[in-house]
Chains A and B, each alone.
Chain A
Amino acid sequence: MSRSLRPLLATAVIFAIAYGLSVMQFPGMFSTRVLGNFLTDNAFLGITAVGMTFVILSGGIDLSVGAVIGFTGVLVAVLISWMGLHPLVAFAIALIVAAVFGGLMGLAIHALEVPSFIVTLAGMFLARGGASVITQDSVPINHPFYDWISDLLIRLPGGGRLSFIGLLMIAVFVVGALVAHRTRFGSYVYALGGNTVSASLMGVPVARTTVAVYMLSSVLAALAGIVFSLYTSAGYPLAAVGVELDAISAVVIGGTLLAGGYGFVLGTFIGVMLLGLVQTYIIFDGTLSSWWTKIVIGVLLFLFIVLQRLIFAASAPGEKVAEKA
């Protein structure tokens, strides 16, 4: 078995066990209602995490996604509620703005030869600051289109509902997986994460791929921002603070190597579901406080980081035993 599959398998097993145990304790968790809400509640995180998977696979990191979600929410709300544009037009504008924004970050990372986290940090400040300059308050969105979309759902037997945004997330994952694993662009992303110098010598269009990766991440973050505005029917500049951390955690817990080059989009889906499970469990339990979510995510993160460390250190051929100093 390929060693990059092992963390993915571990995630899947942990999820299955954790879900099984939760269901044994709270049989109510085994219902289409809970599963349906799982998808809806985590849709914006999942969509963001797909973009983050590409960034991390390419050996980078994107700290700006939470801020882009917030900015997009505000932009969309302002375009619809203040300027009277149709939501679809507003969405298109938001996605284009995000594409330009992400493209510029990618360009800066490539041209200035600097670590991605510092550039996307600037992006985070810029997007948050920009959103706050537009408005500091929550801008409500009341538009028939929003009502129409929230009514758009598939009823499942057992009272569950598959919402539009839940389905949208699944679609993003499917398309993301196809792009990552079945296209030349996908192989370029892995190539960058493996070794940029080799990739460049092998003819990988490094500049174009880097720009595209960050563009993709920002566009998906903007899509997540749109989903978030559908979910909350409002735009707020401080929305989704810290979502970048949740997205990074989901990607790592999903078995993608934070150093890049190894991982699967599907793993990220399980990672997102695992994070969702933790939150749902805490809600079901009722006595546990919300801060346990953060602690559990931290612990999971730690476990997976150590697991990957062990797998990739143990079976790398020719790698010298870590020197004892």
Chain B
Amino acid sequence: MTRRMLGRLANPQLLALVGVLLINWLLFPSFFRVTWQDGRLFGSVIDVLNRGAPVAILSIGMVGVIATKGVDLSVGAVMAVAGAVAASLVVAGYPAPVAVIAALLVGLLCGLWNGFLVAVLDIQPIVATLVLMVAGRGIAQLITQGFIVTFNDPLLIFIGTGSFLGLPMATVIALVLLVLVTLLVRKTAIGLFIEAVGVNRAAASLAGIRSRMLLILVYALSGLCAAIAGIIVAGDIRGADANNAGLWLELDAILAVVIGGTSLLGGRFSVPLAVVGALIIQAMNTGILVSGFPPEFNLIVKAGMIILILLIQSPLATRIAPRRPQRARIGVQRTAK
């Protein structure tokens, strides 16, 4: 059993994460130094966990969508909408829990809308979610009337910048969400059904799987995750910026999912590995910052990362290097039994 666990740990995503962290350490020797101050942990590694949380949360929602052969381009805009709702409500004098719940509901609603377009109207996901991607920021600006709405509400700020058991609150939320969603998909049949729908929707329907409900569920979950990320980001900067909150994060989330080994063509997926993907992205971001490169360098590194993954996952690569790792994995499983 433990050996099987070890076999699982030795997967390419985790090795890549370790590799990136080691490179960061070489470039910036105090990278792994963690200090305890004011009841919470500080350090570059903690920073990775903290800064990576929004994309990790988005990727938790995105991975299910991509597994059904879909994609949700609207999550960045939904983040902005949710942030705008939460900020506007607390500024208008509503209690913070009401604002948070309202923001979550709005996110859920956006997800349901996407799910409706994809599942009921049968519109290609990239097209369906493009609608909200384009209109969402307009809606967010409509809510904030074009201003950056700043607030001083302690609860919202705590969600964005607070800590729990020494860990940043954003990290804790991401972790809880990771556990909950993993349990949701793997301890029920939902995960299998998502994969079945992603592989062959017509066959899934004839096998008695209500693919419509399932699609609506994954898009709703994605919208909800986007709202959570939006609240965190708003809490972090103590304000809702309709123009810039979550800008291009949908692309980071998609990238995280792809790094996590889920094919853009649907099918097999892994929630934890998508989160590892998000951490790899953030570790690179942080590495570039702490080692003194200009932040724009980040975009180039991300581009390089996409190219690398596409090369590794391409049929070309599998033709050149025929499945050695797979055989090794079967071997590990056998010894475990």
- B137: chain A residues within 8 A (beta carbon): 291, 294
| Known A113-B316, A126-B303, A259-B124; 19 more pairs at CB < 8 Å | A112-B315, A117-B126, A118-B306, A125-B302, A125-B306, A128-B299, A129-B296, A129-B298, A133-B294, A136-B294, A237-B296, A245-B133, A249-B134, A290-B141, A291-B139, A302-B135, A323-B205, A325-B210, A325-B211
- B133: chain A residues within 8 A (beta carbon): 245
- Docked CA distance A291–B142 (Å): 7
How many residues of B are counted as interface, with CB atoms below 8 angstroms from the partner's CB atoms? 54
Size bracket of the A interface: 35 or more
Task: Return the chain B residue nearest A135 by Cβ.
Answer: B296
CB distance from B278 to the nearest CB of A (A): 16
Whether the Cβ atoms of A306 and B202 lie closer than 8 Å is no
CB distance from B123 to the nearest CB of A (A): 6
Whether the Cβ atoms of B296 and A136 lie closer than 8 Å is yes
- Which of A123, A132, A133, A298 lies at the interface centre, i.e. has the most chain B CB atoms within 10 A of its CB? A298
Interface residues, chain A, with chain B CB atoms under 8 Å away: 61, 108, 111-115, 117-119, 121-126, 128-130, 132-133, 136, 237, 245, 248-249, 252, 258-259, 289-295, 297-299, 301-302, 305-306, 309, 313, 322-323, 325
Task: Return the chain A residue nearest B133 by Cβ.
Answer: A245
Q: With contacts A295-B139, A323-B202 known, is A132 near B131, CB below 8 A?
A: no
Task: Return the chain B residue nearest A131 by Cβ.
Answer: B296
- Docked CA distance A259–B123 (Å): 10
CB distance from B192 to the nearest CB of A (A): 16
Q: With contacts A118-B254, A306-B121 known, is A113 near B134, CB below 8 A?
A: no
B138 at the A interface (CB under 8 A): yes
Whether the Cβ atoms of A115 and B264 lie closer than 8 Å is yes
B128 at the A interface (CB under 8 A): yes
- Which of A61, A111, A122, A128 lies at the interface centre, i.e. has the most chain B CB atoms within 10 A of its CB? A122
- Docked CA distance A212–B14 (Å): 38
- A298: chain B residues within 8 A (beta carbon): 131-132, 134-136, 138
- B205: chain A residues within 8 A (beta carbon): 323, 325
| CB-CB contacts below 8 Å: B114-135 with A | 117, 121-124, 126-128, 130-135
- B303: chain A residues within 8 A (beta carbon): 122-126, 129
CB distance from A55 to the nearest CB of B (A): 13
- Which of A124, A130, A302 lies at the interface centre, i.e. has the most chain B CB atoms within 10 A of its CB? A302
- Which of A108, A119, A295, A322 lies at the interface centre, i.e. has the most chain B CB atoms within 10 A of its CB? A295
Whether the Cβ atoms of B307 and A309 lie closer than 8 Å is no
CB distance from A315 to the nearest CB of B (A): 15
B300 at the A interface (CB under 8 A): yes
- Docked CA distance A298–B313 (Å): 34
Interface string of B194-224 (1 = CB under 8 A from A): 0000000010011001111000000000000
- Docked CA distance A292–B135 (Å): 9
Task: Return the chain B residue nearest A249 by Cβ.
Answer: B134
CB distance from B120 to the nearest CB of A (A): 9
* A-B CB proximity, top 7 nearest: A298-B135, A294-B138, A129-B299, A132-B296, A291-B141, A129-B300, A122-B306
Task: Return the chain B residue nearest A323 by Cβ.
Answer: B205
By secondary structure, the A interface counts as helix
CB distance from A318 to the nearest CB of B (A): 15
CB distance from B227 to the nearest CB of A (A): 19
- Docked CA distance A207–B21 (Å): 39
B43 at the A interface (CB under 8 A): no
CB distance from B294 to the nearest CB of A (A): 7
Whether the Cβ atoms of B299 and A132 lie closer than 8 Å is yes
B53 at the A interface (CB under 8 A): no
Task: Return the chain B residue nearest A248 by Cβ.
Answer: B130
Interface string of B159-195 (1 = CB under 8 A from A): 0000000000000000000000000000000000000
Of the residues A123, A293, A295, A305, contact of B123 by C-beta under 8 Å: A305
Whether the Cβ atoms of B264 and A112 lie closer than 8 Å is no
Whether the Cβ atoms of A305 and B128 lie closer than 8 Å is yes
- Docked CA distance A245–B71 (Å): 16
Whether the Cβ atoms of A322 and B122 lie closer than 8 Å is yes
Of the residues A108, A299, A306, contact of B307 by C-beta under 8 Å: A108
Task: Return the chain A residue nearest B137 by Cβ.
Answer: A294
- Docked CA distance A248–B127 (Å): 10
- Docked CA distance A322–B201 (Å): 11
Selected A-B contacts with CB under 8 Å, 22 pairs: A113-B315, A114-B313, A115-B264, A117-B71, A121-B306, A122-B306, A125-B303, A125-B306, A129-B296, A129-B297, A259-B127, A289-B141, A294-B137, A295-B142, A298-B132, A298-B138, A305-B117, A305-B123, A305-B131, A309-B123, A322-B122, A323-B205
- A313: chain B residues within 8 A (beta carbon): 122
B258 at the A interface (CB under 8 A): yes
Q: With contacts A114-B310, A118-B264 known, is A130 near B138, CB below 8 A?
A: no
